[in-house]
Amino acid sequence: MSLAVVRKPLRADAARNVDKIITAARQCFREYGPEVPLQTIAATAGVGPATLFRNFADKEELVLAALNRQLRLTVDPVIDDALATIDATAGLLRVLEALMAAASADANLLGAVAGRRELLTGITGSLMESISVLLVRGQGQGSLRADISMTDMFRLLAMLIGVVDTMEPGSDAWRRPLALIEDAIRTSRPARPLPAHVPVPPSPLAETQPG
């Protein structure tokens, strides 16, 4: 399990410093991108580099802590509501919407662990457990395909998270791919048009190529 999840109880002042560092990290990653130096984050948080490194061994640990906090704040309440909802498929889709909205909002945090997304396993364990419960319920209710496994769901979720790399941070371009996933996992396709198409933004590398 990730160190971003398992942490010893902190004194009140130390807990405040951790909160300030995580808040500053989200701000700095949004403003400066995935390569923002830890020193910039420490300065934004109003703490010294030694305080930052006393709480977070490296950038990856800080990124995971920031992502973990956002999942707990924004996605966990949706999970609780989904598990209490009679329509399991509707609940599952609301969870996926909340997850993608959080991923889009913190796209640069995800970018900081690009290529090492396996690190996210430690902060998504409870999410996957809840998705498993909703999947089984939806299949039992006849609204989700009976031949879908949790391995399928894990890979579909990984594909959805990968969509964040193809869109502007904060964009809702993920809604169209999510609708396509919904079409694929339901026993019957919803009678609704797909969300609007959002073009893939040009990459910096493409922009620098000679014409």
Residue 187 tokens, joined: 């026993």
The domain locations on the chain are: 12-56, 59-185
Choose the CATH number for 59-185 among 1.10.357.10, 3.40.50.150, 3.40.50.300, 3.40.1160.10: 1.10.357.10
d(CA 12, CA 7): 14
- Is domain 12-56 classified as CATH 1.10.10? yes
| pLDDT at residue 66, rounded to an integer | 92
Q: Which token pair is 162? A: 């990968």
Q: Do the two domains 12-56 and 59-185 of this chain adopt the same fold?
A: no
pLDDT digit string (tens) for the chain, length 211 residues: 333 444 555 567 778 999 999 999 999 999 998 899 999 999 999 999 999 999 999 999 999 999 999 999 999 999 999 999 999 999 999 999 999 999 999 999 888 887 676 777 778 888 999 999 999 999 999 999 999 999 999 999 989 998 998 998 889 999 999 999 999 999 999 899 999 989 998 864 444 444 4
Cα separations (Å) of 77 from 54, 90, 99, 113, 201? 31, 15, 11, 25, 32
Helix (H) or strand (E) holding 61: helix 59-70
pLDDT recorded at residue 123: 80
String of DSSP letters for 107-172: HHHHHTTTT-GGGGHHHHHHHHHHHHHHHHHHHHTTSB-TT--HHHHHHHHHHHHHHGGGS-TT--
CA torsion 63-26-67-195 (nearest 10°) is: -130
| pLDDT score recorded for residue 27 | 93
Phi-psi region of 128 (alpha: psi -120 to 50; beta: other; left: phi over 0): alpha
Give this prediction's pTM: 0.84
3-state secondary structure of 5: coil
Answer for the pair 87, 186: CB distance below 8 angstroms, yes or no.
Answer: no
